Structure 1
């Protein structure tokens, strides 16, 4: 049996999806990853995987197109598939379909959740360094961001988090409190990234229960981005926030997008804990018009029929994590790196390379390899880069060699 508690024992063998496409094939793609930079740049940045579409997903989309089934989304098939997946993968049977809503994607869903449980100008606490759209979308929604930095091991620092909650509550009271839109009491929100992007940290059940206790103590609502939940390293268990004691009033955003590379087929599910069902019930009906019908078909097929493909991907990612460690040891020994417990992203500490706050700029200019600049992830990101390892071993190897060449100079 597979050593990971979040993987299933199967009899169907699926080839490693990360080994199926050549660089020439990938360069035929027209998505952001492959069109943002010139053709001589090796892209190891944005969260797109270098994989073919899982056959069950491709079959479902082809069937819909052949039927002309390209209208508006309807029904609860996506939420039902997600509930079944959660029960199989995470031993969690608490995902109630009646407490779900379809939303266009995770980040737009987060914005809608903020509108439900907070008022204009209410602070939102985030653990930095964190996924850059947390800053962008939250501020666009009129909410200020308060940072609660992670600790030196990339885990939640509860002293830092409590200080951020105190600051957030103080600012909320200073602005007068009162009622938010839709009747929701004005209060701060803690936007939790679980698993965490960019560090790949998987929060434990005990940590999540502590989050719930602290949020209740200060009257802070928890909204959690769990988009990377299916992508865990061997031996690691993902724990849904809504499953821990105290998580009953939380709101979660989930999607098959990251695990099956479906960013271009947009759809996500908002899930409410038992004590947040009234909040989710206030979501405007028109929000459900935003997801793509084909996206919902694709995501549903992935969750229902794509388990074998996902397990093959997870095995390939485990191999790439080991390979990346070996490559860094050989070519860039000064780079500090802790393999992530989840996601297909690596958070690299490049501060010892002498490339300043933005080593990604040097890797791009001198090495012709694109990685994400750590500075965009907020406080704590200077001198770091985020590297996407969801590619073939050959491309990953070439990418690290180019990064090493950039450090050595001409």
Structure 2
């Protein structure tokens, strides 16, 4: 059965939004930076939030909700992953969850492995937890990006206490192979290390690609791992502030249970409503979104080839973020600055993703083909 790709909202309607994506820059700028998408909400989410407002259900989040069971059902359907709802604990957002986990498994001054190019808050969260970043860059070849397992093992052997895993990886869109994740779990287990896996992009795995949850990759992964995730990236719910930590073994579950209750109190009730609706009733909408993103990642590849010769882009297997190397164009370490100034397109600066990001940009293609086309044409005009 064919799936109809989801249509983005018209530009005029998007300009009425007050979120960061649409409020940060003047109206002559096309915003393709922060990870917000331009699609209407899933109908089930709109309905549940509307009903909550109508009944004045705007209080504190209760200690027991349907979210653990809702996610367990979603994980089983989408990933073939059996999640114990008793081992799901909510918090405000993914990075808050990661910060609290780092505090729980490290001491100030401990080293934490980060694999650039990677989501910029992975660097900043170490300032919050008073830990030190140990960089082990991704490896790249013609087939794409992969974890440097030998480098990660050396870092753990040298005393690193934890690793922040991006699974799937932001910004490259890499979906790590099951055996890679299983070996990562074995490495951490051998050296007494911990893996904190950000899996917020997992629902955005492209059709025909298999996502492996880190905790499901092997017995050692379950023993050393924490998964932190949310419906917010796939269903565009960042402002509703709800994420959760999942564990699959006794010791990680004990560590999560010991995190202060205040971390859980920070979960938004509206975020709970929306996450439950997404996980229980959002599959058809999500499939339509993925159909659109699959088309858009290919469109971005074709547009860059036509309008920005010299740009290098390998479409990722998850997400809606394109990692583009424009270093051959001679626009300096941070080409996003020139693109914003002269083309009036806002993209993410590559250097914020770590040293390997010099000469790169990240383009958000979670939008309409029309907006994406105009943005790349504007960038291409700088080449001409």
> Could you tell me the TM-score, scaled by structure 2's length?
0.96
Gaps of 5+ in 2: none
| Secondary structure in 2 matching 1:230 | helix
Q: Does 1:81 align with 2:70?
A: yes
**What displacement does 1:157 show?**
1.2
Match of 1:157 in 2: 148
Describe how 1:197-276 pairs up with structure 2 within 5 A. Answer: 197-245=170-218, 246-249=220-223, 250-275=225-250, 276=252
Q: Assess if the C-alpha contact under 8 Å between 2:8 and 2:367 holds in 1.
A: no
Q: Assess if the C-alpha contact under 8 Å between 1:138 and 1:145 holds in 2.
A: yes
Q: Does 1:108 align with 2:101?
A: no
**What displacement does 1:279 show?**
1.1
Describe how 1:150-189 pairs up with structure 2 within 5 A. Answer: 150-152=138-140, 153-169=144-160, 188-189=161-162
Match of 2:32 in 1: 44
Q: Assess if the C-alpha contact under 8 Å between 1:124 and 1:143 holds in 2.
A: yes
CA distance in 2, matches of 1:20, 1:224: 30
Superposed CA offset, 1:289-346 (max 9, x none):
1011011101110110011000000000001011111111111121011100101000
Q: Assess if the C-alpha contact under 8 Å between 1:362 and 1:406 holds in 2.
A: no
**What displacement does 1:235 show?**
1.3
- Give 1:194's match in structure 2, choosing from 146, 167, 189: 167
CA distance in 2, matches of 1:284, 1:337: 43
**What displacement does 1:393 show?**
0.2
CA distance in 2, matches of 1:46, 1:401: 20
Q: Assess, with a 3 A threshold, how the Cα gap between structure 1 residues 44 and 20 changes in structure 2: closer, same or farther.
A: closer
Q: Assess if the C-alpha contact under 8 Å between 1:100 and 1:280 holds in 2.
A: no
Match of 1:53 in 2: 41
Q: Does 1:352 align with 2:328?
A: yes
Superposed CA offset, 1:220-273 (max 9, x none):
111110000000112111110111211122111010000100011110111112
Q: Assess if the C-alpha contact under 8 Å between 1:20 and 1:51 holds in 2.
A: yes
CA distance in 2, matches of 1:218, 1:322: 41
| Secondary structure in 1 matching 2:204 | coil
Match of 1:180 in 2: none
> For this pair of structures, how many residues does the alignment match?
377
CA distance in 1, matches of 2:326, 2:150: 27
Match of 1:332 in 2: 308
Kindly report structure 1 stretches of 4+ aligned residues shifted beyond 4 Å. none
Q: Assess if the C-alpha contact under 8 Å between 1:357 and 1:384 holds in 2.
A: yes
CA distance in 2, matches of 1:35, 1:319: 27
**What displacement does 1:76 show?**
3.2
CA RMSD of aligned residues (A): 1.2
Match of 1:24 in 2: 12
Gaps of 5+ in 1: 3-12, 170-187
Q: Assess if the C-alpha contact under 8 Å between 1:154 and 1:201 holds in 2.
A: yes
Match of 1:307 in 2: 283
CA distance in 1, matches of 2:158, 2:329: 36
CA distance in 2, matches of 1:299, 1:266: 10
Match of 1:133 in 2: 121
Q: Give the stretch that moved more between structures: 299-308 or 133-142.
A: 133-142
Describe how 1:386-405 pairs up with structure 2 within 5 A. Answer: 386-405=362-381
Q: Assess if the C-alpha contact under 8 Å between 2:99 and 2:128 holds in 1.
A: no
CA distance in 2, matches of 1:20, 1:256: 19
**What displacement does 1:406 show?**
2.2
Match of 1:317 in 2: 293
